[in-house]
Structure 1
Amino acid sequence: MPTLKELLAQREALQNQLEVARQRQAEIVLAEIVAKMGEYKISLSELMGHNVPAKAQVSAAVPKYRDAVTGATWSGRGRAPHWIADKNRADYLVSA
């Protein structure tokens, strides 16, 4: 039966082998991604989402509510921030 020290050494060796295998696999996948980018003429900026066609772009939401104390704003989209949750939203409307 192996000792604790031997088992810990085996675990460390396996972890090193796993890291090497993960790195090799990542290099293979990266090469495949680069090849597909070349094949389909996809630029790095397109891949990163910086060169999205105008139709696909989401417009920035205009603030609809403002906290007078902190100046924080909220568009009314998504989850309500703590400063307006469970309160009368009319009191926080941004004037036109």
Structure 2
Amino acid sequence: MPTLKELLAQREALQDQLNVARQRQAEIVLAEIVAKMGEYKISLAELMGHNSQVKAVAAVAATPKYRDAESGATWSGRGRAPHWIADKNRDDFLVSA
């Protein structure tokens, strides 16, 4: 059975091989992408500009649904529950409309 030191050396050697293989594969894929861009006459500006044309959707602040009477803290009901409402009946904290 190999020792820990031998196994760690093997792992390092394999990691080096993985890095080399990943780099070679990336170079091949990049060459294919450049070839396709030339074939379809796609400029780098077109490629990079595509994402800039997509408009970002602004996040809308949610209306508070729950309120802690003691601290006045509110929570919309989205995401992780705050400590003041966790493991408690949420109906007790509902904000009246």
**Fold agreement, TM-score > 0.5:** yes
Matched with 1:85 is 63
- TM-score normalized by structure 2? 0.56
Q: Distance in 2 between matches of 1:33 and 1:39?
A: 10
Shift of 1:11: 0.1
Q: Given residue 63 of structure 2, which amino acid in structure 1 is its aligned partner? A: A
What SS does structure 1 have at the residue aligned with 2:49?
coil
Q: Distance in 2 between matches of 1:86 and 1:7?
A: 55
Compared CA separation, residues 21 and 58, structure 1 to 2 (3 A): closer
Q: Distance in 1 between matches of 2:2 and 2:54?
A: 60
- Superposed, 1:30-49 pairs within 5 Å as 30-49=30-49
Count residues with an aligned counterpart: 65
Once superposed, what is the RMSD of the aligned Cα atoms?
Answer: 2.7
Larger Rg: 2
Q: Distance in 1 between matches of 2:2 and 2:36?
A: 48
Name stretches of at least 5 consecutive residues in structure 2 with no aligned partner: 66-97
Matched with 2:72 is none
- Superposed, 1:3-18 pairs within 5 Å as 3-18=3-18
Compared CA separation, residues 32 and 59, structure 1 to 2 (3 A): closer
Q: Distance in 1 between matches of 2:49 and 2:7?
A: 47
Q: Given residue 80 of structure 1, which amino acid in structure 2 is its aligned partner? A: V
Q: Distance in 1 between matches of 2:55 and 2:4?
A: 59
